[in-house]
Amino acid sequence: SPERKPLIAGNWKMNGLGASAPEFVRVVGAYMGPLRNSVDLMVFPPATLLTSFATSTRGAGVLVGAQDCHAEPFGPYTGDISAEMIADAGGKAVIVGHSERRACHGETDAQARAKAEAALHAGLIAVICIGETEAERKAGQALEIVRSQLEGSLPDAATPKTVVVAYEPVWAIGTGLTPTIDEVAEIHGFIRGELARRFGDEKAAAFRILYGGSVKPGNAAELLHVADVDGALVGGASLKADDFLAIANAAA
């Protein structure tokens, strides 16, 4: 859609050491060319690399972010990182409600929403993840799960500039499986409709809705050209600059 610039976001998860910086620097370097006009790029390294990655973007336009944040700005929360700290380290965005946080750390919609609110308060873009499990899809509950996660996880203050929705069917993450084009179109259209019910048509039309789950160079063009798919959240394939850039070029 012309009014929604595609966004390709790379989630490195718990991968990456200082020695991985050259891969990121290659992405940044390539982005200095024509790609920058047609696609937005974000990279979410582990928190240990946030400062060095944020420094090495040097105004290149690639936004760097964190993979999670605490809902409070500071306090006795050992091991956690706040949205303020992410902003202070040069981060511009944060992923909240990722299915791995929901599954491994028991995060709820209410927590994802509180984290997204904290992100907005700190001036960060919140990339809010939702998506059904395999059992939920098989039981015919995909739309209802997505509806309730969307309602529960998005702050009322969400705007198209401050919030990105990522639809990530849990069964497609890291499995090599993807929904059919028709299934992606159905869910993304449904999400757009739910956003319109809550925020009005005009605002809903401007939100970016990413697809995530086993996006690779070989399937990116097909997935990215589905109506209401405004980009991708990429896990595994974001670790290699060539693959990530091929996906970004498929969005251009």
| Choice from 212, 223, 228, 248 touching ligand PEP (CB under 6 A) | 212
Q: Angle CA(167)–CA(252)–CA(61) in degrees, nearest 5? A: 85
CB 177 within 8 A of CB 171: yes
Q: Does 215 bind ligand PEP (CB under 6 A)?
A: yes
Round to whole Å and give the CA distance between 165 and 95: 10
- Contact predicate 102/148, CB 8 Å: no
Catalytic: 188? no
Q: Could you say which of 98, 117, 132, 188 is catalytic?
A: 98
Which has the closest alpha carbon to 41: 123, 125, 119? Answer: 125
Please say if 98 is a catalytic residue.
yes
Considering only residues 179, 213, 229, 241, which one is a binding residue for ligand PEP as defined by CB under 6 A? Answer: 213
CB of 234 to ligand PEP, least distance (A): 5
Per-residue binding letters, 109-148, with ligand PEP (x by CB under 6 A): ----------------------------------------
Which segments of 43-133 does DSSP mark as H helices, in order? 50-57, 83-88, 99-105, 109-121
When the beta carbons of 84 and 115 are compared against ligand PEP, the nearer one is 115
Q: What count of Cα atoms within 13 Å lies in the side-chain half-sphere of residue 72?
A: 7
Q: Residues 100, 107, 117, 168: which is the catalytic one?
A: 168
* Residue of 81, 112, 154, 173 interacting with ligand PEP (CB under 6 A): 173
Is 12 assigned to a binding site? yes
Under the binding rule (CB under 6 A), the answer on residue 179 touching ligand PEP is no
Whether residue 239 contacts residue 15, with contact meaning beta carbons closer than 8 Å, is answered with yes
Per-residue contact flags (x/-) with ligand PEP for residues 73 to 112, judged by CB under 6 A: ----------------------------------------
Residues 107-146, buried b or exposed e (16+ Cβ, 10 A)? Answer: bebebbbbbbbbbbebebbbbbbbbbbeebbeeeebbebb
Residues 220-249 binding ligand PEP (CB under 6 A) are 233-237
- Between 27 and 233, name the residue whose CB sits nearer to ligand PEP: 233
Helix intervals (H) in 32-98: 35-38, 50-57, 83-88
SS3 assignment, position 147:
helix
Q: Which of 174, 189, 193, 217 binds ligand PEP (CB under 6 A)?
A: 174
CB 220 within 8 A of CB 246: yes
5 is in an annotated binding site: no
Residue, CB closest to ligand PEP: 235
Contacting positions for ligand PEP (CB under 6 A) = 11, 168, 173-174, 212-215, 233-237
Binding-site annotation: residue ranges for substrate:
11-13, 174, 214, 235-236
| Binding-site entries | 11-13, 174, 214, 235-236
**Residues classed as catalytic:** 98, 168
